Amino acid sequence: MWTVAQLRADLDAGRTSSRDLVAQALGRIEDRNGEGGRAFLKVYADAARADAAHADRLRQAGVRRSAVDGLPVSLKDLFDVAGEVTRAGSRIRENFPSAKIDAPAVARLRAAGAVFIGRTNMVEFAFGGVGFNPHYGTPKNPYERKIGRVPGGSSSGAAVAQADGMAVMSLGSDTRGSIRGPAALCGVTGWKPTARRVPREGAFPLSFTLDSIGPLANSVACCAAYDAILAGEPEGPLPRLEAKGLRLLLPRSSALDELDRDVAAAFDSSLRILSRVGAILEERPVPQFDRQGEYFKGGGYAGAEAYHIHRANQERIDEYDPRVGKRVLLGKNLTASDYLAFADLRVEFIRQVDALAAGFDAILMPTVPCIAPTIAEADATDEDYFRWNMRILRNNGLINFLDGCAASLPCHEPGGAPVGLMVCGVGGSDRHTLAVSAAIERALARD
């Protein structure tokens, strides 16, 4: 499993090179028995080899641009890359004008020496949590691949690329769980920052209000390294915290209800470990988490804003993934009063949850209340699809509405169905929440 710390040490010691890492990533992408053909919509093989060779020359000359210099990363298909069309997982944008400049997130990674390995598949226009894309195919979850389970969405290709070792980091976006959901279902680590920390210009929007940009990687420290670059902050290690003494809030609410057996077992096991090492777990009622029907009425902010974004293409809606098109058109029925009501609800929600979370280091809940369903059962009917979609999005969306930050950490037994533990913080508490997540990750790994 690639981590930034290990690869940095190996590069510095001459045990590997950026060219070797890129060759390994490309080999996994090109493996005919793997999911690279569905996980990636475009592969930058020649450019990646050239960028890797440049990184190796700089390193030999004593130049290192950042802690992630020379490491291969993937980009979700909704990010602008200068000279390329940003399709956002859709066929209708294939002949749109090319981007003139990199999105700021892409530019910051490029300046840090990241080697772009390719553009990853996604749910069309990022509007869905299951991970389907009928235009370009759906990459299969790494768990029970022969059966065929959903990857989660909308950063579906990013999660599969990360799980299969095709990148050291996969850049995604998160509006109602599109980083954390796929990370949890595919067994990798995902980080959703406070939305305002990472510039969102040049990322095709789903919701101007709720979108955020962050990494999927193989550890909290890896996510933190890329998070600092994306946020334009100085490099440096996270403050080292111990799980002992952490105060962790368990929100008694629908977020902890109706869990799959595997999810309940993994979550309960994680809580027992944390309690055993001295973390202070306190369960309190959080009734605000039970009002999602109000927060996301008609699709909520995403529904209203997606309709605004796509209404110029209404005459081509039949070319969309039908389930995406249906969700876009739902926003047409939202009124200006509905839209303003979301803002009032959100202000009160943030105020109340911030007050409840005061004095705690983080809020804990399962990232997703279920394991990944099979593609067949989630795709059987529209009713099945939308039921699974809402189930996968259920817990994650609360943190977007909170304008908070959260990490999803793998917490399942090796070889078992992937399950994510979500470590959540209020808005602006990003580095502390990452440090808490790292402490929890270490505690779970030591058990």
Task: Give how many domains the chain has, as a whole number.
Answer: 2
Catalytic hit among 17, 154, 270, 437:
154
> Are residue 219 and residue 84 in the same domain, yes or no?
yes
**Average pLDDT along the chain:** 97
Instruction: Tell whether 201 and 254 lie within a shared domain.
Output: no
Catalytic residue flag (residue 18)? no
Decide which of 181, 198, 230 is a domain's last residue: 230
202 in the same domain as 86: yes
* Active site (annotated) includes residue 98: no
Is residue 105 domain-shared with residue 161, that is, in the same domain? yes
Whole domain around residue 358: which residue ranges?
247-296+328-446
Q: Judge whether residue 250 has pLDDT over 70.
A: yes
Q: Which residues contact 438 (CB under 8 A, 6 or more apart)?
A: 220, 221, 224, 238, 240, 241
**Is 219 annotated as catalytic?**
no
Q: What is the pLDDT of residue 312?
A: 92
| Same domain as 115, residue 13 | yes
Q: Considering the domain boundaries, does residue 312 fall inside one?
A: no
State whether 152 and 269 are in the same domain. Answer: no
Per-residue pLDDT reduced to its tens digit, 87-109: 999 999 999 999 999 999 999 99
- 209's tokens: 């209000």
* 305 falls within a domain: no
Residue 5 has pLDDT above 90, yes or no: yes
Q: Are 41 and 159 contained in the same domain?
A: yes
Query: Do 264 and 182 fall within a single domain?
Result: no
Tell me which of 17, 66, 74, 76 is the catalytic residue.
76
311 in any annotated domain: no
Instruction: Tell me the pLDDT band of 447, cut-offs 50, 70 and 90.
Output: low
Q: 284 near 247, Cβ under 8 Å?
A: no
Per the CB < 8 A criterion, the answer to whether 183 and 421 are in contact is no
- 314 found inside a domain: no
Band of residue 446 on the pLDDT scale cut at 50, 70, 90: confident
| Mean pLDDT, residues 341-347 taken together | 98
User: Which one from 18, 156, 178, 253 is the annotated catalytic residue?
Assistant: 178
3-class DSSP string for 287-355: HHHHCHHHHCHHHHHHHHHHHHHHHHHHHHHHHCCHHHHHHHHHHHHCCHHHHHHHHHHHHHHHHHHHH
Residues 140 and 269 in one domain: no
Question: Is the per-residue pLDDT at 287 higher than 90?
Answer: yes
Total-model pTM: 0.98
Judged on CB neighbours under 10 Å (0-12, 13-18, 19+), 257 is exposed
Do both 225 and 251 map to the same domain?
no
> Are 141 and 284 in a shared domain?
no
Per the CB < 8 A criterion, the answer to whether 339 and 207 are in contact is no
